[in-house]
Structure 1
Amino acid sequence: MKSMKPVLFTFGALFIIILLIPTLLVTPFMDQSKGKLGKELSVAKSETPVLAESSVSVPVYRSQLEKTENIPLEEYVIGVVASEMPAEFETEALKSQALAARTYITKRLINNETLGTPKGSGSIVTDTQGHQVYKSPQELKALWGDDYTWKMEKITEAVAATQGKILTYENQPIDASFFSTSNGFTENSEAYWQEAIPYLKSVESPWDEKSPKFYDQMVISIKEFENKLGVNIDKSIGKITALTPGKRVAKVEVGGKEFTGREVRDALGLKSSDFTWEIKDDSVVIETKGFGHGVGLSQYGANFMAEDGKKYTEIVAHYYKGTKVSAAEPFLTKYTASK
């Protein structure tokens, strides 16, 4: 009878090798003294944003339903970002939009601002462009269809990454105005509205020229042009007499009358108050640069900055001069205590 020792030895060796395989596979990726692999996995997991429940609700007037709904703050911010900025934009741009949206609503809440809301509705904002556009998850699902899941996840991540943060100037929430596309410059607040706000000053935004909304052209009949502005024009349409700091029309003479660039933009429904025009046959051809009022954060500018590697903190610092990213909690705590 042959000895069993070689056989037992062989099985024993195989058993030890099987036990060692997992260790051998992991060892090259580990720092044995610090447990590097485990640490990296832990850090990666901890960096995944988790949206915490909000103790503050926003009374929003739902224009289609004609009633006011109380929406948790961060859910409201998600609905605003999803409605105001394309989900296809860079994450850092979405973060800057989330910060602006949260700042805007925080300021209205603590000041109990109700301008532009239906009287007696108990709302602070509407869900329209008059304030910030807001859509519910159900509305977004109907709008996005099969893209709903990835778009909502991306926007929620951006909102969660900025949760609890707002923009302040001299320790107060700012007027975080924003718009689509500049003409290459943002605008001084007093050039479009009446109030001069120190952090809403004209800055260069050269990236916007790449925006699909940078140029626009409108062709309008001379008769309609005259009716909308209340003027009579002959062969000459008039001339621009002054520009704003943001290179938009400040003053223009038309048919013996003087208008501001904003008055012309509003009357004719132009995309921007940076316009030029000429008469062709029986029509007026108007070309504009940019889309929106031009004050504050340029959304397309923010996206192109993000594509260039800028973080959201750098983006908001560029468009809102002298502001700081601050905690919203002290302001929201005062708001809830006053209710």
Structure 2
Amino acid sequence: MKTIKPMITLFVVSAFVIIMIPAMLVLPFSTNQANGKLSEKLEQKRESPEEINSPAVEVAVYRTETKEIQQLPLEAYVTGVISAEMPADFELEALKAQALAARTYIVNQMLTKNAADLPKGADVTDTVTHQVYNNNDELKKRWGTDYEWKIKKISKAVNDTKGQILTYDGKPITPSFFSTSNGYTENSEAYWESELPYLKSVPSKWDKDSPKFHSRTAISVTDFEKKLGVTVSDGESIGTITKRTPGKRVATVNFGGKKLTGKEIRVALDLRSADFSWERKGDNIIISTKGYGHGVGMSQYGANGMALEGSKYEDIVKYYYKGVAIQSSDSLLKTMTAKR
């Protein structure tokens, strides 16, 4: 019996080696070729932007209140921007359109390295100079008991569009946006010096339902004259509008020989829009405006109106930004990460 047991053990070990060694040599090569499943999964994982880019790309945000620079993952930054820039009770498709605009802006900003008036090491500030940004603590304080559903909704808009940006001729656009139009958006060159082919005036009928569509304000004649550097006659005449923009806003006004642009007047008098009219009432001038914001690019209330009618975010952004494409930021982010 003592002799048989070692012989049996030797036989079992030998059989195991003979069978398993060839299998171990073949298995790593034959499995993938047989069904393609494993290689497909590995390829998908390698190409997934969210797997590769989100952890690697961070945005350096200068927090103006604390005077500190905060490093944030790209998509977390986009979430904080949408939360600050667009009402959370807007339609999901409008929030998705805003996500594309916000993400495109920061990707373009980081690629061009436009650091004018920025503290060293910062990509953007958290103000309207770039994009307004709020962190979770600020949102919890602002939203209170509504925080959970609002952040969940905005997070979905960000996740559903993850990695997507707007491009024109393969380059990220300048995705300007504003609150409410006067019924039309504006050509970029009518407000800024640069003429951009994708920022052209389009009708935006949905804005009439915005609570910010109409506004009236009163200013004394004295303040009016001081702020604009003009003299207003004692009669009803205040100034003559001599030209309007493609977006139906005031282009120029003639005050007895002195010409001012609608933008100059809007800024000097702190008006909501450059689509204004006025009338004199005693020692005051009553100014009425239509719309809220510069009018260039995507109207946020217009986007929400389109979404309410059933438009998807792709339709919304392509309506307000002419000739653009929606593409993955993957390759651009890889390049950016490699340079840092």
Please say whether Structure 1 and Structure 2 have the same fold, judged by a TM-score greater than 0.5. Answer: yes
* Aligned-partner Cα distance in 1 for 2:105–2:55: 17
Deviation by residue 1:113-142 (Cα, 9 ceiling, x = unmatched): 113423xx3111100011100000111001
Output the aligned Cα RMSD.
1.0
- Partner of 2:60 in structure 1? 59
Deviation by residue 1:277-322 (Cα, 9 ceiling, x = unmatched): 1111100000000000000000000001000000000000000000
One-letter amino acid matched to 1:197: L
- Partner of 2:141 in structure 1? 142
Task: Name the SS of the counterpart of 1:220 in structure 2.
Answer: strand
- Partner of 1:190 in structure 2? 189
- Partner of 2:239 in structure 1? 238
Per the TM alignment, residue 54 of structure 1 is displaced from its structure 2 partner at its CA by: 3.3
- Partner of 1:152 in structure 2? 151
One-letter amino acid matched to 1:155: I
* Aligned-partner Cα distance in 2 for 1:55–1:161: 20
Give 5+ residue unaligned stretches, structure 1: 1-50
Deviation by residue 1:22-70 (Cα, 9 ceiling, x = unmatched): xxxxxxxxxxxxxxxxxxxxxxxxxxxxx86432100111000111111
* Aligned-partner Cα distance in 2 for 1:279–1:90: 41
Give TM-score, length-normalised by structure 2. Answer: 0.83
* Aligned-partner Cα distance in 1 for 2:241–2:205: 23
Contact 1:237 1:255 in 2 (8 A): no
Task: Name the SS of the counterpart of 1:133 in structure 2.
Answer: coil
One-letter amino acid matched to 2:193: Q
Deviation by residue 1:221-253 (Cα, 9 ceiling, x = unmatched): 000101100111112211100000000001111
Within-5 A mapping of 1:85-124: 85-118=86-119, 121-124=120-123
Task: Name the SS of the counterpart of 1:79 in structure 2.
Answer: helix
One-letter amino acid matched to 2:239: G
Per the TM alignment, residue 255 of structure 1 is displaced from its structure 2 partner at its CA by: 4.5
One-letter amino acid matched to 2:149: W
- Partner of 2:125 in structure 1? 126
One-letter amino acid matched to 2:89: E
- Partner of 1:7 in structure 2? none
Give TM-score, length-normalised by structure 1. Answer: 0.83
Task: Name the SS of the counterpart of 1:276 in structure 2.
Answer: strand
* Aligned-partner Cα distance in 2 for 1:302–1:90: 9
Deviation by residue 1:145-198 (Cα, 9 ceiling, x = unmatched): 100000000000000000010000000000000000000000000000000000
Contact 1:96 1:312 in 2 (8 A): yes
Within-5 A mapping of 1:67-86: 67-86=68-87
Task: Name the SS of the counterpart of 2:118 in structure 1.
Answer: coil
- Partner of 2:22 in structure 1? none
Give 5+ residue unaligned stretches, structure 2: 1-49
Please say if 1:214 is aligned against 2:217: no
Please say if 1:226 is aligned against 2:225: yes
* Aligned-partner Cα distance in 2 for 1:67–1:153: 27
Contact 1:215 1:287 in 2 (8 A): yes
Task: Name the SS of the counterpart of 2:289 in structure 1.
Answer: strand
One-letter amino acid matched to 1:184: G
* Aligned-partner Cα distance in 1 for 2:264–2:251: 10
- How many residue pairs get aligned? The number is 287
Deviation by residue 1:89-117 (Cα, 9 ceiling, x = unmatched): 00000000000000000001111111342
Contact 1:110 1:334 in 2 (8 A): no
- Partner of 2:331 in structure 1? 330
The list of structure 1 runs, each at least 4 consecutive aligned residues, that deviate by more than 3 angstroms after superposition, is: 51-54
Identity of aligned pairs, percent? 55
